[in-house]
Amino acid sequence: MVIFKQIAVFFLASILILSCSKEESEEESNWNPEFSIAIGSTSLGMNADSGFDTLLLHLNALTGLPYWIEEIYVPMSYTMPFDMGQVTEFSDEIISLMFRLNTYNGFPNEAFAQVYFRDMNNHIVDSLFSTGALTMKSGTVNGESINSTHTQTDIVFDQSKIDALTTVRNVLVKGEISNILLDTTLVEFYPNYTLDIQLGLQVELNMSISNQFSNTNDQ
């Protein structure tokens, strides 16, 4: 509902701008406005909220280390509600969708991220990265804490992929850290580390100024 209100306000403002511009030009021209939506954010960590198997935090009696270090990759995930239908309702005017992913790797490990777009039955409709998960450099060790490594990635969906997204109702964010080059001196601090992820959307429209004037005059 919040997304729909943002879009409605944007379109109302656009029509007002176009109406105010009527006296300046009666010739047909195209206008390509853009608006942005914050889809959601999460901090993935070694906890149940991130889909992490907390039993892996228990210590192995033989090694004295938690079981999770025996995994090659440690998976985490989070689901964000997102009704894409509220955006694609205006699909006739949409030229492209640009998803912006900001990641902050607060683990001293190489990490990976993938975003899946799912329908109301949680079936995957599409993914953000078609060639595989995004790779993130490890954070920098600063004593017991980690200086996060920031990555910003923009992915554009053109008109050929937009129609398929109309059924999307949530976004599954999956992250995982690699244990291949694990620093065992930091193991006890890992439950305090996080992989922070922010996802946003920018929508580009194609609007005909003359058509908007015509529609306004007909009413």
List pLDDT tens digits, range 76-118: 999 999 998 877 666 667 888 999 999 999 999 999 999 999 9
Q: What is the mean pLDDT of the chain?
A: 83
List pLDDT tens digits, range 148-158: 999 999 999 88
* pLDDT at 71 (0 to 100): 94
Output 34-37 pairs: Cβ under 8 A, ≥24 positions apart. 34/202, 34/203, 34/204, 34/205, 35/6, 35/7, 35/10, 35/202, 35/203, 35/205, 36/200, 36/201, 36/202, 36/203, 37/3, 37/6, 37/87, 37/200, 37/201, 37/202, 37/203
List pLDDT tens digits, range 64-79: 999 999 999 999 999 9
> Where exactly are the structural domains of the chain?
34-207
Q: What is the mean pLDDT of residues 162-187?
A: 91
Query: Which architecture, in CATH terms, is 34-207?
Result: Sandwich (2.60)
If one compares 79 and 184, the residue with the highest pLDDT of the two is: 79
